[in-house]
Amino acid sequence: MFKFTEEQLMIRDMVREFTTNEIEPRDRDMDENGFDRTLIPKLVEAGLIAIHLPEQYGGGDGDTVTSEIVINEIAKGSASVALFLDAHWLAADMILHHGTEEQKAKYLPQVAEGKIFAFGLTESNAGSDAGAIKSVAEKQADGSYILNGGKAWITNSGVADYYLIMAKTDPEAGNKGISVFVVPKEAEGLTVGKFEKKMGMRGTGTCELSFDNIKIPAEDRVGPEGRGFMIAMQALDGARISIGAIASGLMQHAMEKAVKYAKERTTFGKPIYKNQAVGFKFADMAAKIRATDLMIWDTCQMKDEGQRISVEAAELKLLSSRWACEVTDDCIQIHGGNGYSREFDVERFYRDAKLLEIGEGTSEILRMVISGAVIGR
């Protein structure tokens, strides 16, 4: 098994305690009523909101392994809160890796202080085909930009203080014509739409955004003009590890509940787990969880060593998101009719799990990435 350092194990215990006390008790309510903002100051105080950023910006100086321990443990209490953090980090990462010193000094401390960030790539007519986005940032004579268009499905919208928006600066140039901009929530011309009525991950806010002649100063473009697609894809590689960590957390949480239920529930005079048809489900679940975990920590370690992880992160997300759907499905089945009720939580995990096969690259897109690498090898 992967060897965690003593610090990492202590951090895992700390996040576990935090999740048990502060996060898990809120998850069912957030499923009904949306993200609970009172969690933000708690995540700040516990030093978790920006654990992956360098200490000079108020971050927690955590490596990838440590950061994904945080996501994984939080997901055991709430997949939504883990996804909220994942999106916050995904957006901030673009500034960390591609921002100027001034941008880092201005924005990164805010990431750590609890200002929330969102990542805006998808549009209603362009998801998998991100190069086909229609939002346009037109350069003005003074070097500033005027942004028009809109986005769809943006996690943390309504909650976020800053949106990192991908828009075309050269509409003719396809993927090479995209640039990244920071848009504050107060920006004139920004409209945040209604919360989507989602199947799962309902503890996160997801909305459409629309841009009506938003003026963006030149210093709020992140990275060189035309490099936005590459910057976004690189950030997504890292975030796909987080999706794996969420899948693992969800599977463990669901299995824990199902094991407990299978011991308590008796039919035909014995606890249901004594039926091999039920017991064997746990065997498959345990194997899927362990395989996911091995892939998570291996990919984290590769990232910490500075290796490229596009393929490995895609493989992790592809398998773990499917398994999360299967495991949570099995856990509902083990709960019988109760599994279909909101009272027993596992149906929520199933709804949450399905997003993992769609967001941050659908399984089909991941297969394109992986098979492309295999054929090219």
Partner 1 sequence: MKILVFIKQVPDTDDVKLDPKTGNIMREGVASKLNPLDANAVEAAVQLKEKYGATVHAVSMGPPQAEDALKKALALGCDEAYLLSDRAFGGADTLATAYTLSLAARKIGDYDLLLFGRHAIDGDTAQTGPATAAFLGIPQITLASSIDVQDGYVICDRVLEASSQKVRARLPAAVAVTQEINTPRYPKPINIMKALKKPRYVWNAEDLGADTSRTGIPGSPSSTKELLEPPKRNADTKYFSGSAEEIAAQIADMLHDEHLI
Ligand X SMILES: Cc1cc2nc3c(=O)[nH]c(=O)nc-3n(C[C@H](O)[C@H](O)[C@H](O)COP(=O)(O)OP(=O)(O)OC[C@H]3O[C@@H](n4cnc5c(N)ncnc54)[C@H](O)[C@@H]3O)c2cc1C
Which positions lie near partner 1, rule CB under 8 A? 6-7, 10-11, 14-15, 17-18, 45-48, 51, 55, 59-62, 66, 70
Q: Decide if 244 contacts 192 (C-beta within 8 A).
A: no
Q: How far is the CB of 46 from partner 1 (least distance, A)?
A: 5
CA 82 to chain centre: 7
Interface size with ligand X, residues (CB under 6 A): 21
Q: What are the backbone dihedrals phi and psi of residue 214, each rounded to the nearest 5 degrees, phi first?
A: -80, 130
| 128, 365 Cβ separation under 8 angstroms | yes
CA–CA gap between residue 245 and residue 65 (Å, rounded): 10
Residue 305 designated active-site: no
Helix (H) or strand (E) holding 251: helix 228-264
Q: Which does 51 bind (CB under 5 to 8 A by kind): ligand X, partner 1, none?
A: partner 1
Residue 358: contacted member of partner 1, ligand X, none (CB under 5 to 8 Å, by partner type):
ligand X
Exactly one of 15, 96, 359, 369 binds ligand X (CB under 6 A); which one? 359
Q: Is residue 311 close enough to count as binding ligand X by CB under 6 A?
A: no
Identify which of residues 245 and 258 has a Cβ nearer to ligand X in the complex: 245
CB 239 within 8 A of CB 52: no
- Measured from the CB atom, the residue of 165 and 272 that comes closer to ligand X is 165
CA distance 294 to 72: 13
Please give the structure tokens belonging to residue 51.
């654990």
Classify 240 as helix, strand or coil: helix
Distance from C-alpha of 62 to C-alpha of 70, rounded to nearest angstrom? 10
- Shortest Å, Cβ 284 to partner 1: 28
- Could you say which of partner 1, ligand X, none residue 339 binds, taking C-beta under 5 to 8 angstroms by partner kind? none
Binding mask 82-121 for ligand X (x = CB under 6 A): -----x-------------------------------xxx
DSSP of 223-241, one letter per residue? SSTTBHHHHHHHHHHHHHH
CB of 368 to ligand X, least distance (A): 6
Residue 114 interface partner, choices partner 1, ligand X, none, CB cut-off 5-8 Å depending on type: none
Pick the catalytic residue from 7, 264, 360, 364: 360
Q: How far is the CB of 156 from partner 1 (least distance, A)?
A: 22
49 versus 152: smaller Cβ distance to ligand X:
152
- Of 24-32, 69-77, 125-133, 271-279: span binding ligand X (CB under 6 A): 125-133
Q: Kindly report the backbone phi and psi dihedral angles of residue 30, in degrees, each rounded to the nearest multiple of 5, phi listed first.
A: -65, -30
Q: In the chain, how long is the greatest CA-to-CA distance?
A: 81
Residue 355 touches ligand X, criterion: CB under 6 A: yes
CB 355 within 8 A of CB 80: no
Nearer to ligand X, 345 or 360 (CB): 360
> Coil, strand or helix: which one is 357?
coil
**Is the Cβ of residue 289 or residue 316 nearer to ligand X in the bound state?**
316
Q: Are residues 311 and 369 in contact, defined by beta-carbon separation less than 8 angstroms?
A: yes
Do 289 and 53 contact (CB within 8 A), yes or no? no
359 binds, among partner 1, ligand X, none (CB under 5 to 8 A by kind): ligand X
Catalytic residues: 360
Give me the residues that bind ligand X (CB under 6 A), please: 87, 119-122, 127-129, 153-155, 198, 201, 206, 355, 358-360, 362, 364-365
